[in-house]
């Protein structure tokens, strides 16, 4: 093999890799909304490296505090939750109004 053949193959591989890098974000799935509006309380967990995750799946402060126990986490009020408005009352607790 001579130098021009090797160079041509390397450029072909480099071109294919750059196409994949440029096109991959177009087909990547969109991030889902982590704050579920059906639950009034969220749990924010800090992870190694400084990132954090928020999971809104708690109906009460007590449930959230139980899950947060022993973790680097805190409970938050879900800003997207709104009390249901219907003629028939649902047996839901009102939104928590205190921090933890």
Q: How many CA atoms lie within 13 A of 46 on its CB side?
A: 6
Report pLDDT for 38.
87
pLDDT above 70: percentage of residues in the chain: 67
Q: What is the Cα–Cα distance from 22 to 89, expressed in whole angstroms? A: 52
- Widest pairwise Cα distance in the chain: 82
For the cut 80, the answer to whether the pLDDT of residue 100 exceeds it is no
Q: What is the DSSP letter of 98?
A: S
Instruction: Tell me the average pLDDT of the chain.
Output: 78
Compute the average pLDDT of residues 68-79: 93
Compute the average pLDDT of residues 85-96: 62
Report pLDDT for 9.
81
Burial class (CB in 10 A: 0-12, 13-18, 19+), 34: exposed
Residue 30: pLDDT band (50, 70, 90) is: very low
Q: What is the Cα–Cα distance from 33 to 16, expressed in whole angstroms? A: 33
Strand order in the sheet with 52-58: 52-58, 41-46, 73-77
For the cut 60, the answer to whether the pLDDT of residue 1 exceeds it is yes
And the tokens for 77? 């009020």
Q: What is the Cα–Cα distance from 5 to 28, expressed in whole angstroms? A: 35
């Amino acid at each position: 093999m001579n130098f021009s053949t090797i160079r041509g193959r390397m450029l072909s591989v480099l071109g294919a890799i750059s196409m994949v890098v440029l096109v991959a974000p177009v087909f990547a799935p969109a991030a889902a909304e982590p704050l579920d509006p059906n639950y009034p309380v969220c749990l924010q967990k800090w992870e190694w490296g400084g990132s954090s995750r928020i999971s809104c799946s708690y109906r009460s402060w007590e449930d959230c505090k139980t899950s947060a126990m022993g973790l680097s986490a805190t409970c938050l009020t879900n800003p997207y939750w709104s009390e249901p408005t219907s003629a028939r009352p649902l047996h839901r607790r009102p939104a928590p109004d205190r921090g933890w």
